[in-house]
């Protein structure tokens, strides 16, 4: 099968919690996806990322328990009318996916004189996020889904994965082959949230000023269906 082109992969990429198949990811395919991550732009070419592949079921069960506690906390914080809807939404596929990947940031990598971090220290973390998006798209092109899980306190996860204190967790990802394709986000399918159309988000020259007529019209072609 020919790989998807980049726009198709962007459109078809989803955050995946419920749609994993049991097929194992081949090591060469996983390596290709990680290589896409390692080719991301990074501030001062610092490559501040590491990728911890987690196949161990016992570790994953422990992480799932931590996530479940936070899920319940969030549920309890919701107004009554949102609670039922939230309960119908799966927020992680830690055990259902083939493997998990924890992506971290080391903002000391390549020494103290990184070109760019002196002015905006967060650029190390931005770089790691770009690496994750590269992997997300590469995975989708391979027929593999990824789900980003953020219901946890990183201090609880770090000891389970032996992550040193100075290293920051940026993402915990569930990764596995897809058994189904979805054109819209699960949160939209379930009526939790909807997407904003592009033309509402683009300004020209100054904040709040819509683009000129022609550009406005061109943007209308990219309405969210
Ligand atoms: C930084 C980040 C953290 C996220 N954390 C979670 C999460 O903990 N649980 C979850 O179900 N989805 C999580 N998501 C997925 C979003 O809900 C999802 O991207 C959004 O609904 C749009 O859907 P799509 O990715 O399928 O287009 C996260 C996404 C991002 C970018």
Q: What is the pLDDT of residue 20?
A: 98
Ligand 1 site, residue 86, Cβ cutoff 6 A: no
Can you tell me the mean pLDDT for 192-202?
92
In the chain, what percentage of residues exceed pLDDT 70? 98
- pLDDT at residue 224 in the model: 66
- Nearest to 95, CA basis, from 61, 70, 66: 61
Q: Which atom of ligand 1 is nearest to the CA of 129?
A: 1
pLDDT tens digits, 84-102 = 999 999 999 999 999 999 9
Which of 72-76, 135-139, 220-224 has the lowest average pLDDT?
Answer: 220-224
Give residue 78's pLDDT. 96
CATH top-level class of 6-182: alpha beta
- Regarding the beta carbon of 149 and ligand 1, being less than 6 Å apart is answered yes
For residue 1, is pLDDT > 60?
A: no
Max Cα–Cα distance, the chain, nearest Å? 58
Q: Would you say the CB of residue 142 lies under 6 angstroms from ligand 1?
A: no
Domain locations along the chain: 6-182, 195-225
Q: How confident is the model at residue 117 (pLDDT cuts 50, 70, 90)?
A: confident
What atom in ligand 1 is closest to the CA of residue 67?
A: 8
Model pLDDT, residue 2: 61
The finding on whether 151 has its CB within 6 A of some atom of ligand 1 is yes
- Which one of 12, 14, 15 would you pick to mutate in the ligand 1 pocket, going by the greatest count of ligand atoms within 8 A of its CB? 15
Task: For residues 203-207, give the mean pLDDT.
Answer: 96
Q: CA–CA separation, 203 vs 180, rounded Å?
A: 36
Q: What per-residue confidence (pLDDT) applies to 116?
A: 81
- Indicate the range of 182-186, 205-209, 217-221 predicted with least confidence: 217-221
- Residue 76: helix, strand or coil by DSSP? helix
| 33-41: average pLDDT | 98
- Would you state the pLDDT for residue 99? 98
Mean pLDDT of the chain: 94
218/45 Cα distance (integer angstroms): 36
**pLDDT above 90 (res 188):** yes
CA angle 61, 67, 70 (to 5 degrees): 150
Average pLDDT over residues 161-171: 97
pTM: 0.96
């Amino acid at each position: 099968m020919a790989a998807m082109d980049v726009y198709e992969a962007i459109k078809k990429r989803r955050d995946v919690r419920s749609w994993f198949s049991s097929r194992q990811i081949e090591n060469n395919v996983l390596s290709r996806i990680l290589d896409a991550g390692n080719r991301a732009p990074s501030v001062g070419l610092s490559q501040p990322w590491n990728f911890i592949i987690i196949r161990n079921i016992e570790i994953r069960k422990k992480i799932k328990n931590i996530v479940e506690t936070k899920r319940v906390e969030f549920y309890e914080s919701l107004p009554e009318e949102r609670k039922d809807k939230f309960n119908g939404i799966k927020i992680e596929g830690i055990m259902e996916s083939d493997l998990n990947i924890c992506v971290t940031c080391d903002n000391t990598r390549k020494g103290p004189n990184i070109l760019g971090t002196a002015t905006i220290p967060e650029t190390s973390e931005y770089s790691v996020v770009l690496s994750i998006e590269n992997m997300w798209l590469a995975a989708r092109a391979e027929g593999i889904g990824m789900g980003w899980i953020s219901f946890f306190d990183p201090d609880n996860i770090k000891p389970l994965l032996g992550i040193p204190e100075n290293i920051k967790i940026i993402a915990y990802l569930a990764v596995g082959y897809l058994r189904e394709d979805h054109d819209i986000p699960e949160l939209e399918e379930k009526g939790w949230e909807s997407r904003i159309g592009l033309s509402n988000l683009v300004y020209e020259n100054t904040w709040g000023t819509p683009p000129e007529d022609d550009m406005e019209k061109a943007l209308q072609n990219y309405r969210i269906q």
